[in-house]
Amino acid sequence: MSRLLAVGPALPGVAHPQSEITDTIGPLLTPSPAKRAVLRRLHGASGVRTRHTALALDEYAGLTSFGVANDHFIRVGTDLAEEACRTALDAAGLAPDEVDFLLFTSVTGIAAPSIDAQLVTRLGLRTDVKRLPSFGLGCVAGAAGIARVHDYLAGHPRDVALLVSVELCSLTLQHGDDSMANLVSTGLFGDGAAAVVMVGDAHRAGFPPVDGRSGDRRPELPDGAAQGVEVVDTRSRLYPETADHLGWTIRDSGFGIVLSAGLPEVIAAHLAGDVKSLLAEHDLATEDVGTWVVHAGGPRILDVVRDSLGLDEADLRLSRESLAAVGNLSSSSVLHVLAATLAAHEAPPVRGLTTPRTTDRRHGVLMAFGPGVSAELVLLRLPASPLEG
């Protein structure tokens, strides 16, 4: 078992209105007025109002080579990763030199040494910290990262682990690509990062101090006394013969998007069965789940999740709000939704506001989807909300 103590979201620069981004990149994608009209229509229907970008908008005209784009990824990405980690560690009440395991993930840039190696010096991590950089999982990696850290902590119950996601999707801009997939993706994906602090179930940080003193795990504590979110179980799925629905084509100019209109149908065909199977192993059903933390993949993806699982629109409110405010942040997206979910869980209720939080159903399901096509599900148990305390 493991506990999730804190999430640190980070965003670059300022938020740009969607229309401003569309007007800036339109001429870079196509000289055709007809295609630009299609671009405006697609961007307007993306569910995105604003996005943050790694660079000033006027710099994207000069972003014509993979080398230049990747240099920006390393520079901006390392800064954002450091910010996210400091936020998460501070919120968890832990020092950088207490971190034993660091999992880093991105699908929008590469580096060797990887960004996680740079973080050792930046943050003051121990030089014997165990590191695992990951590339290629794409949007699913935020959820998969939590799951793989959970697996690690099962064998190292006294350890502290740090999951770091950095995605600078705007740096993958492909000049002159007016394919439908690129017109859609340039209106959907945003830039951001996130860090998650997790501990094993024997680490002192997972339990409150007794008489002002911290110590090791105390099994005699009553239910609800433990701190943080309990990671109960996980489930990984890869759907055969769906590789052409989502991913990259690697070009001289960088990463070209692969994005199929049939992706939502792939998810719809499998999601309900996968979720019900995971829940059944714990004698739960979908109606027993009070919190849904869903990757903000786009309006159609969220619609499919809602309809496949029979959810209310309120269950996806925070995912849609994240999509509108920052776009689809790839692997960082579900972690930003998780941060908002935990903030909403801890906050007192607002009169007249419908929230996805319920006080009598403390289980939650976190999910994301990525290339493969793949899905990752994480079963959570949230602490008692203030209404229950």
Backbone angles phi, psi at 263, to 5 degrees: -60, -45
Structure tokens at 235: 């489930």
Cα distances (angstroms) measured from residue 179 to each of 26, 30, 186, 297: 12, 10, 11, 20
The answer to whether residues 134 and 162 touch, using CB atoms and an 8 Å cutoff, is no
Q: How far is CA 113 from the centre of its chain?
A: 23
Backbone angles phi, psi at 384, to 5 degrees: -60, 140
Catalytic residues: 139
31 CB-near residues (< 8 Å, 6+ apart): none
**Where are the strands (E) in the chain, listed by range?**
2-10, 15-17, 50-52, 101-106, 130-135, 160-168, 191-200, 229-238, 246-251, 254-259, 289-294, 363-370, 374-381
Cα distances (angstroms) measured from residue 95 to each of 50, 88, 121, 360: 34, 10, 14, 34
Backbone angles phi, psi at 279, to 5 degrees: -65, -40
Cα distances (angstroms) measured from residue 259 to each of 17, 140, 252, 347: 24, 15, 19, 37
Burial class for 356, CB neighbours closer than 10 Å (0-12, 13-18, 19+): buried
Distance between CA atoms of residues 298 and 305, nearest Å = 11
CA-nearest of 335, 135, 367 to 236 is 367
For 13, other C-beta atoms within 10 Å of its C-beta total: 14
Would you call 387 helix, strand, or coil by DSSP? coil
Distance between CA atoms of residues 149 and 161, nearest Å = 7
CA-nearest of 88, 114, 10, 87 to 52 is 10
Residues in a beta bridge with 194: 9, 165
The answer to whether residues 383 and 310 touch, using CB atoms and an 8 Å cutoff, is no
